[in-house]
Amino acid sequence: MVFFQMRYSLNVWMVLLYGVTGSTIGRYLLSKYIPVLSAKYIKAQKNTDIQFIGKKLDGNGWQIQLFVLLYTLMPLPSTPLFMAAGIARIRLIHILPAFFIGKFTSDMLMVLSGEYAINNIDHIADGFLSWKGISGTILGIIIICIFLFIDWHKLLQQKKFSLDFHIWK
């Protein structure tokens, strides 16, 4: 979005509106097709486990919306969030509005700071392998692992923490 806004001198608000709408549609589609892939590649027991936690989370509408809003305001990838939400079959009406607002806000900061980035490209290129980028990637992987490897039935029903690494078919 920053590239197109800077390159073609586009209206920043239209760039944001189209970009965030496209991102929201993309996350919606990801959440819809990921259960098909998880059914094909992840054990049925693990899929049932993740769906169980999804039902628990889905009942807390405002809490999950707050979590998604705060999550999207941080510089973290949203793909793991929507993969987990899709596998857990969380109703997207509970997360898409919060995602749109958080994504719009964080992208607005990025697009509005685009001119600064273009003018200081040398300093930015040095930070690609920064601790922030690496920690964001690691946190995304941890979130996926939390949803995949924790035995949610045992944790929520029996109050016993258990890990199950045998999730693949």
Tens digits of per-residue pLDDT, 88-137? 888 888 899 999 999 999 999 888 887 677 777 776 666 566 777 778 77
Q: What is the CA radius of gyration of the chain?
A: 18
Higher-pLDDT residue of 100 and 62 is 100
State pTM to two decimals: 0.66
Residue-level pLDDT at 125: 63
Q: Which residues, including other chains, have CB under 8 Å from residue 147's CB and lie 6 or more apart?
A: 50, 53, 84, 87, 88
